[in-house]
Structure 1
Amino acid sequence: MENHKQMIKMLNSGSGTGTNTTSGGSSTSTLNSSLTNIDFSAIEELDPSLSDGYRIIYDRECPVELRFQETAESPQEVGTLEAIKVKMLVTGKDSSPESVKIELSSECDLFFHFTHVVDEVGFRIMQQQQKLMIDFVEYPKVLIRMLNNCIKEPHSHLAVFVIQRSGHSRLDFIKNMEYKFVELLTCNFVRSSDALVKQHIAYRYNAVKSRLALMQARLSDVNALVKIKNPSLLLQINRDQEKAKLKSK
C-alpha cells in the first residue's frame, strides 16, 4: 500500500525522468483510476447481516459505555467506554419499513455480537412502555440521529449498553442536561447465537483475506503500468524502500 501512495505522490509532483508532462498526467489519471476503482461488492454481498432481505442503512463505530449486570435487579458494574461498531439494517421500503435490525460488534472482541430486531407490532409495545412520541416509520431516522449525536457530542449524548449474564441486554440513549440525565430511548438486545457469531467471524476473516488479494493483484497491475510509463520512477521507489528497510533495522 505504501507503494501506491509513493507512486501517486511522485507522479503528481513530476518526479522521475523519461516522462513528459502530458504522459505524466495521463499516468497519474490511470493510476488514480486503478487504485480507487476496486469493486468489493461481491465480497460485501456475502455478509450474513443481509440474510432475510435486510439492507444496510447505517454502519459506523460509536463510543458506547459497556456495563455488566448479573440480573435486571442487581446493581450495574462500573462501565468502560469502547468503540462499538453499530450496523443498522431494514427490510421493506424507506417510506414504510417492515423490520429494523441493529447489530453491535467489536473489533477488539470477535465474539462480541448482539442483535436488536423490531417490527411495527413490537414497536407499538416500545411506544407504550417508553411513552415514545414517534411512529415506526421514523424509528430508523431517530436512531441514526441519536447515534450520530453520541459520536459528535459524546459529553452530552451518551450510549450505555448494559449486558446481563443471561445474554439479554439493552442500549440506553441518555442526554446529559447538566442538572440531570434524561433517558431518551431504550432498545432491547439479545446475544447472538454461537452459530451466527461463527458466521460473522468467518465472513470478516474471508472479507479481509479477499480484499487483501484484490489489493495485491491491483498493486501488481500498478507496478507493471509504472514500469512501462515511467521505469525510472519504479527504480527510485524500490531504492527508497530499501533505504527505509535498512533504517528500520
Structure 2
Amino acid sequence: MAGDSTMAAADLQTFDMSAIEEMDPSCAEGFNVIYDREVPFELRVQQNQDGPSQVGTLEAIKVKILLQGDDARPSAVRIELSSEADLFYHYAHLIDEAGFQVVQEQQKLMVEFADYPNVLIRMLNNCIREPHNHLAVFVMQQDGTARLDFIQNMEYKFVELMSCHFARSSEESVQHHITYRYNAMKTRLALMQARLTEVQNVIKLKNPSLLLQLQRNPSATLAPSQTNNLNSSRRG
C-alpha cells in the first residue's frame, strides 16, 4: 500500500507544470509573459470623465506584461491586472506600434515602442521598491474603462510620468482566467499532497514513533535523540 502511494507521488512529481502553464489564456495568440509580480496600486473610482475620483485604497495588484512576437521588436504589448482578493477583477491594456505612436505624441514620451516594455517594468519595480516616491494610481470609470497613472513624488510636487489606458475584461475572458487559476492551483495542491504522502511514508518506515508525534503535534520540534534515531535509520 505504501509502495503504491510512493509511486503515485513520484508520478505526480514528474508532472511538468509547463503543461498547465501552456493553458494560460494570457498566452493565447502568441503572447508570452515577461513580467508577473504583485505591485502596490492606489485604486480609485471616478463617476465620470470630468468628475473627481473617490479617495483611493491601496491594494496589491498582480501585474502581467506580455509580448507578442519577437522580444526585441514586439508587434504588440499587453498588460493584465488581476487581484488575489477578487477573482473577478481583471483589466487589460493592449497596444501595438501604431497605437503607441499616438500615445507617444499625446504624452510627449521620449521612448520608442521597442523600449516600452522595459520602461513599464522599471516603473512598476520602482513602485515596489519605493512606494512613497513612485506611485501607481489606477482610476476606474463606471463604463469599464480605466487609466493607470505612473506618478513620481518630487517632494515639492507630483509629476505624472506616463499613463496607460485599460478596459475591463469581458465576462467570458474573466471566466477563462478563473478556470485556469483554479486548475493551476489544484495541480500544485496535488503535487504538494503527493510530496507530503511520500515524506510520511519515509518517516513511517524509518521512525514510526516520530510520525505519530508529528501527526499529534505538527509544530513539535525534534528532540536530539529522535534526530539521531532518524539519521541512524537513514544510514542503516
TM bucket normalised to smaller: 0.7 to 0.9
Calculate the TM-score normalised by the size of structure 2: 0.84
**Partner residue in 2 for 1:61:** 38
For 1:222 and 1:242, the matched residues in 2 are separated by 16
- Residue 50 of structure 1 deviates from its aligned partner by 0.6
Given the alignment, which residue of 190, 204, 212 partners 2:181? Answer: 204
Q: How far apart, CA to CA, are the structure 2 residues paired with 1:113 and 1:195?
A: 11
Give the 3-state SS of the residue equivalent to 2:217 in structure 1.
helix
Shift of 1:37: 7.6
Instruction: Sort the Cα spacing of 1:226 and 1:243 in 2 relative to 1 into closer, same or farther, 3 A.
Output: closer
What's the offset of the Cα at 1:245? Answer: 8.6
- For residues 202 and 211 of structure 2, the distance between their equivalents in structure 1, rounded to whole angstroms, comes to 14
TM-score of the aligned structures, taking structure 1 as reference length: 0.79
Alignment-derived partner of residue 214 in structure 2:
240
Which residue number corresponds to residue 131 of structure 2? Answer: 154
Q: Counterparts in 2 of 1:138-177, with a 5 A limit?
A: 138-177=115-154
How far does residue 215 in structure 1 lie from its aligned partner after superposition?
A: 1.8
Deviation track 1:54-94 (CA, whole Å, cap 9, x = no partner) reads 00000000000000001111111100000000011001112
Alpha-carbon distance between aligned partners in 2 of 1:213 and 1:96, rounded to the nearest angstrom = 39
- Measure, in 2, the Cα distance between the counterparts of 1:107 and 1:187: 22
Per-residue deviation at 1:199?
0.7
Q: Which consecutive residues of structure 1, in runs of 5 or more, have no partner in the other structure?
A: 1-33
The residue number in structure 1 matching 2:4 is none
Distance 1:97 1:72, change over 3 A: same
Number of aligned positions between the proteins: 211
1:220 matches 2:197: yes
* Aligned-partner Cα distance in 2 for 1:37–1:235: 30
Instruction: Supply the distance in 2 between the matched residues of 1:210 and 1:200 (Cα, whole angstroms).
Output: 15
SS in 2 for 1:71: coil
Q: Distance in 2 between matches of 1:125 and 1:73?
A: 22
Residue identity in the other structure for 1:89:
L
Distance 2:197 2:92 in 1: 41
Distance (Å, rounded) in 2 between the aligned partners of 1:215 and 1:245: 18
CA distance in 1, matches of 2:137, 2:213: 51
Matched residue of 1:206: which SS?
A: helix
Cα deviation, residue 238, structure 1:
3.0
Once residues 213 and 206 of structure 1 are traced to their aligned partners in structure 2, the CA distance between those partners, rounded to angstroms, is 10
2: CA distance between counterparts of 1:126 and 1:238? Answer: 64
Does the aligned pair in 1 maintain the 2:13–2:195 contact within 8 Å? no
